[in-house]
Amino acid sequence: MSESHDPKDAHAGHSHADVDRHVRAAYYVFGSLLVLTGFTVGAYFLHLPPRTAIALALLIATVKGTLVAAWFMHLVSERTLIYWVLGLTAVLFLPLLLLPTLTVLDGIVLP
C-alpha cells in the first residue's frame, strides 16, 4: 500500500483554491442559516393558520437542511455511489414516513 506520509499531501483531492472556495461558501451558508432561523421564529409570531404554519416551517427547514447537506456535507460535489446510497435511503424513508400516517388517516370502517 502506497500511503503518503508527507504533510504536503494532506490536501489530497483538494487544492488550496478549492478549500478557500469551500470556506467562503460555508460562511454564506452560515449567514443564510441564521437568516432562515430568524424567518422560522418570526413566522411563529405571525400566528398563521395551523396548516400554513406547518407548511411554511417545514419548507424553511427543508431549505436549511438542503444547505447543510449540499455545502457542509459536500454533497454538491460527491461521488456517484454516495448519491445512490442516499437515493436508496430516500426510497425507503418515504414509505416509513407515509405508511403509518396513511394508516391513521384510513377512513375505512371494518364491520
Contact positions toward another protein, by CB under 8 A? 1-12, 14, 16, 19, 22-23, 26-27, 29-30, 33-34, 37, 40-41, 43-44, 50, 53-54, 57-58, 60-61, 64-65, 68-69, 72-73, 79-82, 85-86, 88-89, 92-93, 96-97, 99-101, 103-105
Q: Say which amino acid occupies 101.
A: T
Q: Say which DSSP state 63 is in.
A: H
To another protein, the closest distance from the beta carbon of 111 in angstroms equals 22
**How far apart, in whole angstroms, are the C-alpha atoms of residue 101 and residue 57?**
19
To another protein, the closest distance from the beta carbon of 44 in angstroms equals 4
To another protein, the closest distance from the beta carbon of 61 in angstroms equals 5
Q: How many CB atoms lie within 10 A of CB 42?
A: 9
Cα-Cα-Cα-Cα dihedral sign, residues 28, 30, 35, 39: positive
Q: Say which amino acid occupies 18.
A: D
* Nearest to another protein of 45, 111 (CB atom): 45
* Nearest to another protein of 7, 111 (CB atom): 7
To another protein, the closest distance from the beta carbon of 21 in angstroms equals 10
Q: Three-state DSSP class for 2?
A: coil
Please give the grid coordinates belonging to residue 80. 456517484
